[in-house]
Structure 1
Amino acid sequence: MDQFFKLGSTFTMNLFSYGIIALIAGITLFSFLTKKNKRPKFVSFFLCALIFFMIWLLIIVPSNAGITIENDELKINIPLSAEITVARKDVASCKVVDWNQDTDYKPLLRTFGTSLGDYRIGNFKLKNGKSAKLLAIGEKAVVIELKNENYLLVLAPKDFDGFVKVINENFVKVIN
């Protein structure tokens, strides 16, 4: 049975995304209402295309971020970065960390990704010096160490408790 856990979003990320789109839409509307005969058609086309691009980039693409658990595999979709499939046999360890208490696994440096408040997605360096692929919202995360990779997976979808329960039942045992 496939189960999909969506990353979701935070209030700060929504505010940022919709704010940028509203700003560009406002500039576009203002440009349409003023100096119509002096504005090249290219500018109008560019501003409209920019609005659609930002909607795609800030709303549609992040909505595809998530984790699917199916048939002894964990499939992680980090939009515009990676799609990772992990088999049960490839997992060395799996544990829950609270970044407020265990700061070694807290993201320190974003190497290729996005982080805004509790929303973290992409490649990061952790405080302990290890590289990690993050798909996380909140202060708790599941850290998966892989046998044949030089990075950790740090996962925390919106339904974190349900995610931990399904991983325990259908994938590997999670150490709390």
Structure 2
Amino acid sequence: MLRTFPVVPTSDQTLWAIAGIILLTMLAAIVIFLTTENHTKLIALIPLFVGGLFSHTAYASRHSQVELSEDKLSIKGEYGRQIPIASLICNRAEQISLSHSSLYKPKLRTNGTSLPGYLCGWFKLQNNEKALICVTDSDRVVYLPTRDNYSLLISLANPEEFLQFLREICS
């Protein structure tokens, strides 16, 4: 049985910050295009590419989800992946609040996106664990360690429901 659990969408404030970055990159592309010689106008594609990446980030920050089935957990989003259920340490899964638990707070981004109200990608945590995270709401986070030397931190709209279904699958 497949169940889908939506990730908490980012706030409007975060979306406006991303929109501002996209606008600035588009303006940079226009300025570069209008002020450079014909043979160097292709440089204007660089900020357009960056704007495209941030457009993808904006979409992913509002439409990510986690799918859980009997055999795998699938993260559908900016840093999506599929993880076999056998790789999860289900009995250590728990709901945490990053506002209150400093042990699991991200301290170093190694590959990912770090914006106010949106952290997604690979991070090192305060306890020196490596983690794949998608955090949009620091008070509704599921912590789920794996046997592959990293943990998952994901902001889910219904963390209790997710944990209950995870425990049913793992038992």
RMSD: 2.9
Cα offset, 1:51, TM superposition: 5.0
Report matched runs for 1:109-148 at 5 Å: 109-140=108-139, 141-146=141-146, 148=147
- How many residue pairs get aligned? The number is 162
Higher helix share: 2
* 8 Å Cα contact 2:133-2:154 kept in structure 1: yes
| 2:58 is equivalent to residue 57 of structure 1 | no
- Structure 1 moving runs of 4+ over 3 Å: 10-13, 27-32
Q: Deviations over 1:120-141 (max 9, x none)?
A: 1111111122221111111121
**One-letter identity of the residue aligned with 1:142:** V
Equivalent residue, structure 1, for 2:43:
46
Using the aligned pairs only, state the percent identity.
20
User: Structure 1 residues 82 and 27 mapped into 2: Cα distance closer, same or farther (>3 Å)?
Assistant: closer
Report matched runs for 1:1-176 at 5 Å: 1-3=2-4, 5-6=6-7, 8-30=9-31, 39-40=37-38, 42-43=40-41, 45-47=42-44, 49-50=45-46, 52-61=48-57, 63-64=59-60, 65-77=64-76, 79=78, 81=79, 83-87=81-85, 90-92=88-90, 93-140=92-139, 141-146=141-146, 148-157=147-156, 160=157, 162-168=158-164, 170-172=165-167
Q: How many angstroms apart in 1 are the aligned matches of 2:9 and 2:97?
A: 19
List alignment gaps of at least 5 residues for structure 2.
Answer: none
Is the radius of gyration larger for structure 1 or structure 2?
Answer: 1
List alignment gaps of at least 5 residues for structure 1.
Answer: none
Cα offset, 1:75, TM superposition: 0.7
Higher strand share: 1
Cα offset, 1:153, TM superposition: 0.8
User: Structure 1 residues 82 and 10 mapped into 2: Cα distance closer, same or farther (>3 Å)?
Assistant: same
**Secondary structure of 2:167's partner?**
coil
